[in-house]
Amino acid sequence: MEKLIITAAICGAEVTKQQNPAVPYTMEEIVREAKSAYDSGASVIHLHVREDDGTPTQSKERYQACVEGILEQCPDVIIQPSTGGAVGMTESERLQPIEITPTPEFATLDCGTLNFGGDDIFVNTENTIFKFAKIMKEKGIKPELEVFDKGMIDIALKAHKKGLLAEPLHFDFVLGVQMSATMRDLVFMVESIPPGSTWTVAGIGRSAFEMAAGGILMGGHVRIGFEDNLYLEKGVLAKSNGELVEKVVKIAKMFGREIASPNEARKILS
């Protein structure tokens, strides 16, 4: 079985310091959390950024500063900017992070509209998805296809059929938001993607480590971090993203999976 790629989703756009004081807002905090995850075994940093008061932003300038800060501390890490942003942002806002210098090698591409809880709807029309895919392909950015249910896989495959995505495809199954997070669900999603594709799984909240174990056992890869889960175990807040990554590394070692370095991850992901 190939080595395990661990992605650290270090802050997201929605979680707050009120939920866990270690959630990073400032540039210094974001760099700190990226380094803690990298030092613990993460080879990919899934990056959202915030204003100093915690407000989510897709500001090109803020991303540029955070990326430069992270690379000073973790020179070989893969940085994966989010083009999802936060609920209610425009397309042009969401695309700002892929305008930084140098052009990112990896970025997320959300593949469907999502019920995000309560009255919040994260809108991605087919035209938005196809537009983002086209821009990423033109810029030479590998998209991570963010899928929250099976229908989003089908939309991604439609984009592929239109020539907007290059093989091998890479998917991130985000389970526990719109679709439940059980091993049955994970197996169904894995069996729904084309042969030769790579995949990562992210379990939200209480499902984080169950899905991590499933991804490890099934030969996939794992996303973990404050964006998805704030707890190390029931009732115990994680003190850093590094603690969450360390727990995934321990699970991987139990099952005999070695951890991929950033350069090994680049080869696995093509």
Structure tokens at 101: 């210098």
Residue 1 lies in a domain: no
Residue 104 lies in a domain: yes
What pTM, to 2 d.p., does this model score? 0.97
Residue 171 lies in a domain: yes
Residue 56 lies in a domain: yes
Count structural domains, the chain: 1
3-state secondary structure at position 231: strand
In tens digits, the chain (270 residues) has pLDDT values of: 899 999 999 999 999 999 999 999 999 999 999 999 999 999 999 999 999 999 999 999 999 999 999 999 999 999 999 999 988 899 999 999 999 999 999 999 999 999 987 888 999 999 999 999 999 999 999 999 999 999 999 999 999 999 999 999 999 999 999 999 999 999 999 999 999 999 999 999 999 999 999 999 999 999 999 999 999 999 999 999 999 999 999 999 999 999 999 999 999 999
| Nearest alpha carbon to residue 67 among 91, 49, 43, 92 | 49
Q: Give the domain CATH number at 48.
A: 3.20.20.70
Residue 157 lies in a domain: yes
Residues 6 or more apart whose CB falls under 8 angstroms from that of 92 comprise: none
Chain mean position to CA 135: 19
Q: Which residue's entry shows tokens 């999802």?
A: 84
Neighbour-count burial of 50, counting CB atoms closer than 10 A to its CB (0-12 exposed, 13-18 middle, 19+ buried) = buried
Chain mean position to CA 38: 14
Structure tokens at 23: 């959630």
Domain boundaries, position 177? 6-268
Residue 54 lies in a domain: yes
